[in-house]
Amino acid sequence: MHLLQVIESFLSVIGSLALFLFSMKLMSESLQKITGSGMRHTISSLSGNPGKGIFTGVAITSIVQFSSATVVMVVSLVNAGMLSLYESMGLIIGANIGTTLKALVISYIGFQVGSEKLFLPLIALALPFMFLRKNNYKAIGEIIIGFALLFVSLSFLRNSIPNLQNNPDLILWMKNYTHFGFLSILLFVFAGIVLTIIIQSSSAFIAFIFVVCQSGWLSFEMAAAMVVGANIGTTYTALLASIIANRSAKRAALFHLLFNVFGAIIILIVFKPFLSIIDFVVFSIQGASSFTQITAIPLGLSLVHTSFNVFTTLVIVWFLPQVITLLERIIPKRIDEKLNHSFTFFDSPIHSTSEISALQAQKEVIFFGSKVQLMLSTIPPLLVTKHPSQYEQMYASIRATEELADKFDEEISTFITRLSENELSDKTSLSVRIMQKIADDLESIADECMGLARNIDVKNQQKVWFTQEMRDDLNIMFSLLNEAYELMLNNLKSDYLLTETDKPLLIEEKINQLRDSLRLKNMENLKNGVYTYLNGNYFNDFIFRCEKIGDLIIHINNSFSGFKKDYNNL
């Protein structure tokens, strides 16, 4: 081959793989737009049942299209404390199995039916959907276009790779690496690892292997070794993401690696008998041998890919507690591990899990809200405690939470900004928009709580004491605030379309009525000399801050009302 032909073939292969990855990304984002709410509900309801986790992992990977994206998403959820390591294992195993289904579909549709024949009919089918107003219908059109581009990319890939039979020099070069017995198998496993890391998609790499085999470049045996390597190489993305994550997330990423390495070792031990069984199944289905007929190789490799993950699952699923023990020995626990709560936006230009990241954002806002609720509930006992040690402990807790609130607000803002840059469904886009407003309001509530705590501290230093009647009146106000906050937090935890908006308004009205009556009462008491002006001034400041907290709470609830209105206008 001339140099220009080599360059042309190389660029054509790269372009075909890029089109393949783009088609998968397009399908992934469009499927998430349609099924995002369902996926978020499924993940949020996960229990410690590995079987349910496996099926969920299969379903999510079928939607997201990239197993590595699913695993990165799982690592991020573990990092945020939204999934336990045990729960994450089922999802990771399911992701490994889910990605094999795509290889089976590609091996059949892309290589048996003839992918180029489906391109134009699929584009014609997608066109009407693209002109419809509703975004969900447009997403269906994008999914169909994604399928069409996937098939045509396979066709381009086949045409880009030269047939080895027409290049005797390349045949001789390839033979130099295939006659070392088991060492050659290990060499091709390593090649599969490296190339999958470079391409960042085991599915794209396996599709590439399908085409390479059909062009006569690889035997079934060596291609199967590369598929085994691809299963290890696909763990790189999650391992890379876990570098900036906490120790629990690192264990989840390490489990993904150990799972695939264990499977590779077992398969390599029985490699030749294993391939013979696969070939028997292929021959039963197609009447052709993967060892001798290149048309049967794609199905054979798909079955290698599927069998690898299913077999490894059947072995490891019974020993998950023992695997957790091993992971905790490799990455030991720390005493303060449960206290470290962090969250990070994990994404890449190729892998997109925006709809699942929206669930993470919602959970983070809920966590933020729970911390602020604890802060608010600490104010009444701080006001009345007479024990210095208890007082110092409560005041330090409020101050620490206020500092944490500032950090959370900044991190959530960054997270939501990054999330908003991605393709989202209409409902999720609206949800993300109000999450930012809610986070800002929660941070303001934390500031007001800190202001109340400082007032109490200064009041105590000046030895200004409230009467029992003043404390009772403030307790009524705090009780209403806590009731309003509890309703708001319940709304925050639910589907934003199903929030309670009437009862919070009634409580807000009670807070305003109590505010007015307490202000009048305070003025009368000052006028009648019941207590000093300093007492009255502190009391009035307490009422002012409580009213502001109530206004912020109702502002959050009004955000839910606005969400419903905007959603109904879509």
In terms of average pLDDT, the best of 24-33, 279-288, 348-357 is 279-288
Number of Cβ atoms within 10 Å of the Cβ of 430? 19
- Mean of the pLDDT values across residues 6-35? 75
- Where exactly are the structural domains of the chain? 3-339, 354-568
- φ/ψ (deg, to 5) at 351: -95, 130
Q: How confident is the model at residue 323 (pLDDT cuts 50, 70, 90)?
A: very high
Q: How far apart are CA 231 and CA 83, in angstroms?
A: 24
Above 90 in pLDDT, residue 296?
Answer: no
Q: Which candidate, 189, 475, 200, 470, places its Cα nearest to that of 352?
A: 200
Above 90 in pLDDT, residue 377?
Answer: yes
Q: What single-letter amino acid sits at 543?
A: I
Q: How confident is the model at residue 127 (pLDDT cuts 50, 70, 90)?
A: confident
CA dihedral 123→124→126→128, nearest 10 degrees, is 150
Q: Which of 58-62, 137-141, 537-541, 561-565 is least confident?
A: 58-62
Higher pLDDT among residues 157 and 93, named by residue? 93
Give residue 300's Cα distance to chain centre: 33
Q: How confident is the model at residue 350 (pLDDT cuts 50, 70, 90)?
A: very low
Q: How confident is the model at residue 463 (pLDDT cuts 50, 70, 90)?
A: confident
- φ/ψ (deg, to 5) at 364: -65, -40
- Mean of the pLDDT values across residues 158-176? 58
User: What is the reported pLDDT for 499?
Assistant: 84
Q: How far apart are CA 158 and CA 298, in angstroms?
A: 13
User: What is the reported pLDDT for 355?
Assistant: 67
Identify the sign of the CA torsion 110, 115, 121, 124: positive
pTM of model > 0.85: no
User: What is the reported pLDDT for 105?
Assistant: 75
Q: What is the pLDDT of residues 44-97, one digit of tens each?
A: 555 556 777 788 888 777 666 667 677 777 887 787 677 788 888 988 998 888
User: What is the reported pLDDT for 441?
Assistant: 93
Higher pLDDT among residues 354 and 153, named by residue? 153
User: What is the reported pLDDT for 241?
Assistant: 74
- What Å distances lie between residue 105 and 38, 101, 115, 147, 207, CA to CA? 24, 6, 11, 11, 11
Higher pLDDT among residues 166 and 143, named by residue? 143
In terms of average pLDDT, the best of 75-84, 400-409, 446-455 is 446-455
- Mean of the pLDDT values across residues 485-499? 87
At which residue do the structure tokens 């996926």 appear?
39
- Mean of the pLDDT values across residues 164-174? 54
Higher pLDDT among residues 131 and 253, named by residue? 253
Burial bucket for residue 239 (CB in 10 Å: 0-12, 13-18, 19+): middle
Ranges of beta strands (E only) in 310-433 are none
Q: Which residues are CB-neighbours of 223 under 8 A, at least 6 positions away? A: 188, 209, 212, 213, 297, 301
Q: How far apart are CA 64 and CA 68, in angstroms?
A: 10
Q: How confident is the model at residue 10 (pLDDT cuts 50, 70, 90)?
A: confident
Q: How confident is the model at residue 339 (pLDDT cuts 50, 70, 90)?
A: very low
- Mean of the pLDDT values across residues 268-284? 92
Above 80 in pLDDT, residue 405?
Answer: yes
Above 70 in pLDDT, residue 413?
Answer: yes
Q: Which of 66-75, 125-134, 320-329, 381-390 is least confident?
A: 66-75
Query: What is the radius of gyration, based on Cα positions, of the chain?
Result: 30
Q: How confident is the model at residue 40 (pLDDT cuts 50, 70, 90)?
A: low
- What is 354-568's CATH topology? Methane Monooxygenase Hydroxylase; Chain G, domain 1 (1.20.58)
Above 70 in pLDDT, residue 570?
Answer: no
Above 70 in pLDDT, residue 402?
Answer: yes
Q: How confident is the model at residue 161 (pLDDT cuts 50, 70, 90)?
A: low
- CA 504, 435, 499: angle at the middle one, nearest 5? 35
Q: Which of 28-42, 171-185, 372-386, 532-546 is least confident?
A: 28-42
Above 60 in pLDDT, residue 185?
Answer: yes
Q: What is the pLDDT of residues 503-549, one digit of tens each?
A: 888 999 999 999 999 999 989 988 888 888 888 899 999 999 999 99
Q: How far apart are CA 547 and CA 505, in angstroms?
A: 14
Number of Cβ atoms within 10 Å of the Cβ of 44? 14
Indicate the average pLDDT of the chain: 81
CA dihedral 529→535→541→545, nearest 10 degrees, is -110
Percent of the chain surpassing pLDDT 90 = 26
Q: Which candidate, 369, 385, 393, 531, places its Cα nearest to that of 456?
A: 385
User: What is the reported pLDDT for 170?
Assistant: 53
